[in-house]
Structure 1
């Protein structure tokens, strides 16, 4: 089965992202707006229980932190993805690094970590240029406290649902 690890921002930021995603993101109906901590990986039922235990330990070692989305950006020319850029603060980076550490899953991420919330993807070059031009004029300035992350699994129809939620910090366990 496929799994992934994400942070879901507040409903307020999700609503802003979804106002664009419903038009420009073909994954709109499959998963809410999110910040990916660990990309898709496969695990069987036994292995995922071990992973969930390790994630619980990681959550205890990391405190809640401030997530700040502050502008619209793009991954072009690598791919035509438009996103809300999230400040790569040390706490968020440490959480991401913990999920890619040798003792956890032992794999290197495909790309360097650029914290973001996707609002448009799978666009043609012309679509990307038009949409990015208009969205880049948006004044995104959102700040909130993140106190949890989620282990998701993928359903047969391609949508994602929460397998388990992990609260950050020792006092939240």
Structure 2
């Protein structure tokens, strides 16, 4: 089965992202707006059980922190993906790095760029129009991060929560 690890932002941030995603992101119905901490990976049930124990330790050793979003950015020219740029914070980078050590698979294909995708798989013309208008817009979003989620993919391609891990919650 395919798994991934992500942070779901607050409803206010999700509403802002979804105001664009519903029109420009074909994955809109498959997963809510999120910050990916661990790209999709394959695992069996026993392995995931071991990961859950490790993820509990990571969450317990992490204190809540805030993230800020001030603008949009893009992965062009690699892809025509537009995203809300989450300003890199040491706490977020540390959390990402913890996700790629120990028993968890080190499957990160690209450098960690904290973001929330709002548009992808656009034609070149549509990408230019959408990015051209959004890059002029200033965003002023701040969000408290106090948990992350282990997700799994259903047969229809959508993602659902397997477990949530609250920061500093309980000692294992």
The answer to whether the superposition gives a TM-score over 0.5 is: yes
Which residues of structure 2 form unaligned runs of 5+?
none
Hey, what does 2:86 align to over in structure 1?
Answer: 86
Over 3 Å counting, the alpha-carbon distance change for 1:161 and 1:108 in structure 2 is closer
Q: Distance in 2 between matches of 1:104 and 1:92?
A: 20
TM-score (norm 1): 0.96
* Pairwise CA distance, 1:64: 0.7
Q: Distance in 2 between matches of 1:152 and 1:78?
A: 26
Which residues of structure 1 form unaligned runs of 5+?
none
TM-score (norm 2): 0.96
Q: Distance in 2 between matches of 1:49 and 1:142?
A: 35
SS at match of 2:47: helix
SS at match of 1:126: helix
Q: Distance in 1 between matches of 2:82 and 2:135?
A: 9
SS at match of 2:41: strand
SS at match of 2:96: helix
Q: 1:124-151, CA deviations, whole angstroms, 9 ceiling, x for partnerless residues?
A: 1111111101111222111121100000
* Pairwise CA distance, 1:104: 2.9
Q: Distance in 1 between matches of 2:114 and 2:59?
A: 18
Compute the RMSD of aligned alpha carbons: 0.9
Q: Distance in 2 between matches of 1:107 and 1:144?
A: 27
Hey, what does 2:109 align to over in structure 1?
Answer: 110
SS at match of 2:76: coil
SS at match of 1:104: coil
Q: Distance in 1 between matches of 2:136 and 2:125?
A: 18
The 8 Å contact of residues 98 and 104 in structure 1, kept in 2 or not, is answered as: no
* Pairwise CA distance, 1:108: 4.7
The 8 Å contact of residues 67 and 144 in structure 1, kept in 2 or not, is answered as: yes
